[in-house]
Amino acid sequence: MTQKRIVVISSTVRDLPEHRAKVMDACLRAEMFPKMMEHLPAKNEDAIQASHALVDEADVYVGIFAHRYGHVPEGSRISITQMEYERAVERGIPRLLFLWDTSVPIREEDIDFENKTKLDALKARMKKERVVAFFNSPGDLRGLVLHSLHEVRKQLDAGGTGQAGQPTGAAPAESVHHVSAIPRPPEPYIPHPYTLLQVHGLVGRTDELQLLTDWVTGRRGLHDVRIFNVVAMGGVGKSALTWTWFNDVAPRETKLAGRMWWSFYESDATFENLVTRAVAYVGRRTLEEVKELPFPDRQALLLRILDREPFLLVLDGLERVLTAYARQDAASLRDRPAVGGEGARSAAAGVALPHGRGESVAEKYRPRTTADPRVGRFLRRLARAGASRVLISTRLYPADLQAPGRPSPGSFALSLQGSSDRDALDLWRAYGASGSSEEILPFFRTFDKHPLLIQLLAYEVAEFSEAPGDFDAWRRANPDFNPFGLDLANVQSHVLSYAMAGLSAKELRTLRMIAVFRTSPSIESIQSLLVRADDAAPPGERPFASLDELRVALSALEGRGLIGRERPADRYHLDPIVRGVVLATLDDASRTELYRSIERYFEAIPVKDYTRVESLDDLAPAIELFHVLVGQGRYDDALVVFSSKLVTTLLYRLSAGRLQVELLNALLPDGWEAPMRLSPAGQSYTLNALAQGLKLSGQPGDAVPIYRRADEIDTRANDPRNRRAGLSNLSIALRLVGKIGEAEHSARAALIISREQREHVDEGISLQWLGMALATRGQWAEGQKALCRSLRIRRRYRKRQGMGQGSSYVAQLALWRGDAATARRLAEYAWKRASIGRGERDCIRAARLQGHAALHLGDHDTASSRLHHALLRARTADCVEEELPTLIALAESHRQQGEAAHARELLDDVWDSAERGPYPLFHTDALNLLAQIERDAGNRDAAVEAATKAYRLAWCDGPPFAYHWGLEKAKAHLAALGAPEPEMPPFDASQHEPMPEVEINPPDEFGGEE
């Protein structure tokens, strides 16, 4: 039973009687007991003691302050209200402070001028010490208090302090998600309970349950299998199967150190959160302790514990981390069978793809890759765990667990089909529906005997008023029910439309409202949208007169199996099939009205200032608002939310490229190549930001054509300023993918535009990327000239962040030339500037260059420290562009210290990302290092192979547009090994546009030498 918490309500009595009553009501609704001092004892000393005693027995302090300072007892310097506050501060209990909104006019007679100074001082101190909320009516205050108390109670019940550090005036970012307490093993840890199980429990599936038991006990040749994948289309029952086995079978069939269930269907179920909470559970540590560890260390610790102790880890809905489903609208995607040579029902090839995906050979593999390569590496390592077992349910079999034509060693795949005939009939009859098997089974087979659809239809037949449970009578009353001849997606819609036919108008609105939420909404959220407050909202918009009436409707939906309820958090879930069908049945007017209700809800939630954002959780309200606007087709409004509330934080503060791509793809539902639904002004911006996100998250090859299309739009619109920025961005991506001549061409074109527009700051940016393109192909003198002029311009205009960034690129040039001392000096300056500006990529690059310079100078201790620091931050930010050169530098450090095996392990983390990018320049560097390692070991053939591959990659378009520094190293290796250089096609100028002529350092105010 949940402990009854006591709340002390502190305020002046005279001016807030209605407000205090509303706060008392909020406490009771939050299942907390309110206490307050309505009447002070006659003696002042008794009043003081009573105020202390009142606060001493409380779990939470709620302070409400408006116009008066309050009664000051004789012999005291402060009022009783302030005494209560000071006592709460002294005890360290959670304090929720609410102040009158000063923008609302008040009558002069309501102001206590005598004590106004003291009241203002108290409010100022409270604002300084704790973020507060502002209210302007009793009803407004009640809602604010109720929401805040729910959040504090969850933290207190979970063992936390409950002391909020965020604004309490609206839902904190964390409240968008439910975070459960972490128990000590062997008690199971279930952060996201499965709530969509059939009302009568799992019916049938005895063979599959036995196979899972045989796996975990090592029978039937499954002794070496560490990861068991249950692969099936949505609605077949994979989650119900794994949930039932996890809870009812596994505990009695095997001795485990602990069990953890994790669902990727939840909005907070990121890879980072999985690793963090799993380490806290299996490592028996607090979350605070775990969060102090660098993220790679958390992964390593988790793998060590799972290798040592027999834990069971269930990963439900793994498809959400695969490319096919790692998208904003994943919850509403509906499956179609996979097709092609690999087979629609082959578990090794994946079982189902979402509608709208291509069917080429590349598409059959790519949708099953992890969107985040770190997740793929983690899965491969889990497959080698010694003591623990991992159970996965997924719509697609992950490519990272696949060897050619079969699951990789340590992994097994079960392709889960629809129910057997016997199980389907048992499930149908469990709900009280009747009918002969000869009549019913043909209908079931039209939708592959999906358990969810059988359950929903059975409930509707069982509740048929004229003849409950009689399928024949129900069919006669519904002559249009005929799923034969439809494809699977349309069969699902057809069956569900009849399954929902018996819903009341209120139940249907409730179901639709839940479906529109991207996350699983809490009862508080649903209540705020569907229950009338003071009869203010029209019944059509808010159809329920009370929370109790709403709960009746929710229970009815849950009984039908249309929704599931997560009881500890009181949140509501929908199966993706149900969600997809519900959304598809909305007409435009209904969809718009529902979305606008939720829009108003999320608009009221503030987003943290850029400088205070520490994680993506801080952006949750803005992300939800973005999604709601997209759902209405208001793409330009959604873009405003992205550009005003998200992009700066995503791009610079957090370097969250993958999320940026996910959001912007939602603005391009027909793909970036198709005509866009955005205004002309937003099209180029969206494409540029999308390409930036792709480049940032390790996909510069995919970014290049998108940058080109943005440039076409800017050219047609005669928009030179945007075109200059886009060409500079294009130059960066082209250089990374080895198109060095085109990279130089784009940078020169950008430089010409900036000078024509007399935009000196833009000129400095264009010069930076021109300098890097020149330096990469070996024109170091010209490259240095461009980079130094760029620095002079930035110094002139006091662009301190740009000065640090530019210094880091000059440091890279110095390293290529072998001038490590200069590189170290410049990298240290870049680090100082980056630390002040807090740009994550700038910090990572500077730290990496500090380490690389130290390595060239033989300072291995400093090199190791700075390179590991850079690697940690690069992986945390998923900054592949910096992760790869850092790994290569670390591998070189270990090679120099005679640790060849460790160096090879580090390089193993390079190959996949380098090919995916592609990053031919980094790939070249890694291969050259591998050639040296093989030479050190006396493996001539392997060294020749690596050096030859490096030579081919460094060739790019051929000299003079080759990767000069990598090509020279490869040549040196081959010469030392006595091996010939491979024949490569020469540079063909006819295949490239003429290089724009522009003077790099003209004799003007920025000319000169450094």
Residue partners of 983: CB distance under 8 A and separation at least 6:
none
Non-local CB neighbours of 291 within 8 Å, separated by 6+ positions: 276
pLDDT of residue 579: 84
Question: pLDDT category, 307, cuts 50, 70, 90?
Answer: very high
Say yes or no to pLDDT of 526 above 50. Answer: yes
Query: What value does the mean pLDDT take over residues 594-607?
Result: 80
Percent of the chain clearing pLDDT 70 (strictly above): 81
Q: What is the DSSP letter of 467?
A: S
Q: Is the pLDDT of residue 644 over 70?
A: yes
Query: Taking residues 229-249, what's their average pLDDT?
Result: 85
Alpha helices in 632-699 (DSSP H): 635-641, 647-648, 657-666, 680-696
> What is the model's pLDDT at position 266?
73
* Identity of the amino acid at 633: G
Please indicate whether residue 350 or residue 486 has the higher confidence score (pLDDT): 486
Residue 342's pLDDT band (boundaries 50, 70, 90)?
very low
pLDDT band of residue 339 (cuts 50, 70, 90) is very low
Task: Average the pLDDT over 796-814 and give the result.
Answer: 90
Mean pLDDT of 577-591: 83
Asked if 413 and 379 touch (Cβ cutoff 8 Å), the reply is no
Q: Is the pLDDT of residue 41 over 60?
A: no
pLDDT in the model for residue 580: 81
Q: What pLDDT is recorded for position 121?
A: 61
Q: What is the pLDDT of residues 267-306, one digit of tens each?
A: 667 888 899 999 999 999 988 889 888 777 888 899 999 9
Report which DSSP code applies to 318: G
Cα-flanking dihedrals φ and ψ of residue 280, to 5°? -60, -40
Q: In this predicted model, what pLDDT tens digit does every residue of 949-998 receive, in sequence order?
A: 999 999 999 999 999 999 999 999 999 999 999 999 999 999 999 999 99
Q: Hey, is 504 helix, strand or coil?
A: coil
pLDDT interval class at 346 (50, 70, 90):
very low
Compare 561 and 795 and report the one with higher pLDDT. 795
Q: Find out whether 694 and 668 touch, Cβ atoms under 8 Å.
A: no
pLDDT greater than 80 at residue 120: no
Task: Report the pLDDT value the prediction gives residue 50, as an integer from 0 to 100.
Answer: 75
pTM score, whole prediction: 0.61
Contact (Cβ atoms closer than 8 angstroms) between residue 322 and residue 369: yes
Could you report the per-residue pLDDT of 130-178, keeping only the tens digit for each? 445 667 667 567 666 766 776 687 677 766 555 433 333 333 333 444 4
The model's confidence at residue 311, banded by pLDDT at 50, 70 and 90, is very high
CB 981 within 8 A of CB 947: no
For residue 407, the cross-strand partners are 402
Answer yes or no: is pLDDT of 343 > 50.
no
Residue 773 vs residues 358, 731, 760, 843, 1004: alpha-carbon distances, Å: 35, 8, 20, 22, 23
Q: Which of 180, 170, 207, 148 is nearest to 262 (CA)?
A: 180
Residue 646: DSSP 8-state: I
> What number is the average pLDDT over the span 21-27?
77
Alpha helix stretches (DSSP H) within 92-137: 116-129
Q: Which residue has the higher pLDDT, 229 or 13?
A: 229
pLDDT at 160: 57
pLDDT(426) > 50: yes
Return mean pLDDT, the chain: 81
What is the residue-wise DSSP string for 561-605?
Answer: TS-EEETTTTEEE--HHHHHHHHHT--HHHHHHHHHHHHHHHHTS
Tell me which range, 9-18, 547-556, 705-714, is most confidently predicted by mean pLDDT. Answer: 705-714
pLDDT more than 90, % of the chain: 36
Q: pLDDT, tens digit, for every residue of 613-629? A: 766 667 777 888 898 88
Q: Which of 921-935, 938-952, 993-1007 has the lowest mean pLDDT?
A: 993-1007
CA distance 314 to 260: 6
Describe the strand order of the beta sheet including 32-35 as a list of residue ranges. Answer: 32-35, 5-11, 60-65, 95-100, 133-135
Q: What is the pLDDT of residue 38?
A: 61
Encode pLDDT of 883-926 as tens digits.
Answer: 999 999 999 999 999 999 889 988 988 998 899 899 999 999 99
Per-residue pLDDT, averaged over 853-876, amounts to 88
Q: Which helix (H) or strand (E) holds 277?
A: helix 271-282
Determine how β-strand 95-100 pairs with β-strand 411-415.
Answer: unpaired
pLDDT value, residue 352? 46
pLDDT at 44: 45
Q: Has residue 689 got a pLDDT over 90?
A: yes
Contact criterion met (CB below 8 Å) for 48 and 82: no
Q: Which phi-psi region, left, alpha or beta, contains residue 776 (left: φ > 0; alpha: ψ -120 to 50)?
A: alpha
Identify the band that residue 190 occupies on the pLDDT scale cut at 50, 70 and 90.
Answer: confident
Apex 322 CA angle, 288 and 644, nearest 5: 65
Q: What is the pLDDT of residue 707?
A: 96
Question: Looking at residue 288, what is its pLDDT?
Answer: 87
Q: What is the pLDDT of residues 738-777, one digit of tens each?
A: 999 999 999 999 999 999 999 999 999 999 999 999 999 9
What average pLDDT does the segment 61-84 reach? 70
Q: What is the DSSP string of 873-927?
A: HHHHTT-HHHHHHHHHHHHHHHHHTT-HHHHHHHHHHHHHHHHHTT-HHHHHHHH
